[in-house]
Amino acid sequence: MESENKLNESEIVSEEVLEGLGISKPVYEEILTIIGRLPSVDELSTLLAMWQSQGQRQGLLTWLKGQPHSTERHDYLDSDAEPLGKEVREPRVKDCIAIAKSLHATEMNDSIEIGDREVFKHRGDAIYMVGDVSGLFVNSEYGRRYLHLVENAVRPEDDTEACEYLELILGALIDNESIFSICRVGRGGLFGTLVRCAAPSRLGFDILTCREVRLDAFLFGEEGVRFLVTMDEPKEDFFLQKLTEARVNCCFLGRATKGRVLVDDMDFGPIAAYTKN
């Protein structure tokens, strides 16, 4: 029996209905990516009502991009057995600007293992994350310092075999000059590592987040063996082919910028704002 969350063909909203609601097809598709499934007419009407009451001064599509990623319950946070002692709401993209600055403005001089290669080299270089997307964040700097969920952030034990395998694959790609650099995702999660890697060259980054997980988990979660990889555009197809052959997960994050930090098209400010003077 199909889940109640799935819509059958008769429930798919036609273009005529969308036009009647005043919603374009691109906006409808954006709604689909936000809630993870085809929205019903009732859900579209609800979203329209929310926008009209809360987002009157901006376009519907822009307003939707600022909404939380997930609408489903999250077992990790909502479990009755999870002793968090407080509700942890998923932040919007614009809320993450303050979170990011709070977490990383004083950490830029900390050492990071990047080998002897500059991490971000050129404006426009592609940035990929190799490894599994983070879904947890309680035992992280974000969970400790910003949410005050734990007294001490405890990184999970590394999967040594997985780490060595990824280093072997990525090391070979560096040796044949298919990629520019690799950098292990560490303290501060994906966002913190991006900032530390971009800052020395004064380049920024423009990334898109994964809507299949919570926004704060994606940006600030620290568990798992993951690496940032940079390369120029002509090498991307070869890189993806080799990772597919090696059965390694990866996701395209975005590209290096001249000096600004952007997440989901929202401006987080210049990279200098996240560094020590």
- Lowest mean pLDDT across 36-45, 188-197, 247-256: 36-45
Q: What's the pLDDT score for residue 158?
A: 63
Average pLDDT over residues 183-195: 90
Q: What's the pLDDT score for residue 230?
A: 94
Query: In whole angstroms, what is the distance from residue 101 CA to residue 95 CA?
Result: 11
Q: What's the pLDDT score for residue 148?
A: 81
CATH of 93-274, one of 3.90.650.10, 3.40.50.620, 3.40.50.1100, 3.40.50.300: 3.90.650.10
Q: What's the pLDDT score for residue 172?
A: 92
User: What's the pLDDT tens digit per position in 107-142?
Assistant: 544 433 333 345 788 899 999 999 888 777 888 888
Average pLDDT over residues 255-272: 91
Average pLDDT over residues 10-21: 65
- Lowest mean pLDDT across 86-90, 164-168, 178-182, 203-207: 86-90
| Rounded (10°) angle between helices 41-54 and 25-35 | 100
pLDDT at 241 over 70: yes
Terminal Cα distance for the chain, rounded: 60
Q: What's the pLDDT score for residue 8?
A: 40
Q: What's the pLDDT score for residue 17?
A: 72
**CB neighbourhood size of 253 (10 A):** 21
Q: What's the pLDDT score for residue 76?
A: 52
The tokens describing 198, both together, are 């971009």
Q: What are the extents of the domains in the chain?
A: 9-65, 93-274
Q: What's the pLDDT score for residue 201?
A: 85
Higher confidence at residue 201 or residue 13? 201
pLDDT at 269 over 70: yes
Average pLDDT over residues 268-274: 89
The number of residues in the chain equals 277
Q: What's the pLDDT score for residue 64?
A: 60
Average pLDDT over residues 249-270: 91
Q: How confident is the model at residue 179 (pLDDT cuts 50, 70, 90)?
A: very high
| Mean pLDDT of all residues belonging to the chain | 75
pLDDT at 85 over 60: no
Q: What's the pLDDT score for residue 227?
A: 93
User: What's the pLDDT tens digit per position in 148-162?
Assistant: 887 776 666 667 888
User: What's the pLDDT tens digit per position in 202-230?
Assistant: 899 999 888 778 889 899 988 888 999 99
Contact 135, 210 (CB under 8 A): no
Q: Which residues of 17-43 are buried (b: 16+ CB within 10 A; e: fewer)?
A: ebeeeebeeebbebbeebbebbbeeeb
User: What's the pLDDT tens digit per position in 21-80?
Assistant: 667 777 777 666 665 556 666 666 666 666 666 555 556 656 565 555 554 445 555 544
